[in-house]
Amino acid sequence: MQKRTLGRSGLEVSAIGLGCMGLSHGYGQPVEKAAAIGLIRAAVDQGVTFFDTAEVYGPYTNEEVVGQALAPVRERVVIATKFGFRIGDPAGGTDSRPEHIRAVVEASLKRLQTDRIDLLYQHRVDPAVPIEDVAGAVKELIGAGKVRHFGLSEAGAQTVRRAHAVQPVTALQSEYSLWWREPETSVLPTLEELGIGLVPFSPLGRGFLTGAIDAHTTFAEGDIRNVVPRFSAKSRRDNVDLVDELGRIAAGKGVTRAQLALAWLLAQRPWIVPIPGTTKPHRLQENLGAASLTLTAGELAAIESALRQIRISGDRYPAQMQKQIDR
């Protein structure tokens, strides 16, 4: 497995990481614990060193699974987790008060069975807490040795700049893929300027870019795609042109749609590290195969040309979740 460094931070990780959320959260019934641990360890065996979780996944259970799975190989891997939601409060919402951050880190360390978090993200920007206060709290945790690197998730360019001025930001985690390219406008130039890595989540469009989902697909109870506008039956019908075009290009290259979509991301910048998630060992192997796939300038131009002809239908989040995105 090839390695990449997230920006100028010196944090080296596998070129493709593993997003662990779907093992416990967001896509219907959680995976049985032994199977989830087995999949994470299979990823380690195939060279993955970068694992992503969060306290809210489950909540809490995903960190426990990740911690148990990686405890035997802790010195060989990089674990990323997140704070920033008010869990257990019926009103929900964000909470990035410094005292809350400190409490979350202590609890996450126990669940992850470790003495330090390699990369700690603010899960969503909290409009009630200045980002300078958030960065300052994480800076103190880094000074105490409980955290190694600071990250943000779904933060806009100006928020990234303000946080970075207090505590250098190692990585920004945001959705970025062939069907969500908004980060290219202002976020990617800012990250390049400041030397910050990008960790795209949902790099396969929550499964849509693989070609395994069509207008007739049904999702399990508790699957977030049931409420995402981009996954309405109409949007899935409207967006089939993208999947068809990816299939045509992938077939010409002798790869799968998933591998093409991940290779396209890797080709955008050397400091981009996608974290596709899966619950299936054969999909894990397929995804990791993209790390050794090189797209030529001609192939990248063909993909770009095809994308210009396609308009993507549907918002990527329901309205309430859309409000939590910092721009």
Which residue has tokens 């993209």?
290
Burial of 167 (0-12, 13-18, 19+ CB in 10 A): buried
Tally of CA atoms within 13 A in the half-sphere of 34 that contains its CB: 0
Distance CA(200)–CA(171), nearest Å, equals: 10
Query: Is 176 considered catalytic here?
Result: no
Distance of CA 231 to CAs 175, 223, 260, 262, 314, Å? 16, 11, 21, 20, 7
Nearest to 59 by CA among 128, 114, 111, 137: 111
Distance CA 97, CA 133 (A): 8
Distance CA 166, CA 274 (A): 26
217: its two tokens: 């697909």
DSSP 231: G
Q: Which of 27, 57, 121, 176 is catalytic?
A: 57
Distance CA 297, CA 215 (A): 33
| Amino acid at site 224 | I
Strand 78-83 relative to strand 3-5, pairing: unpaired
The rounded distance, in Å, linking the Cα atoms of 247 and 209 is 9
Q: Are 154 and 134 in contact (CB under 8 A)?
A: no
Active-site positions read 57
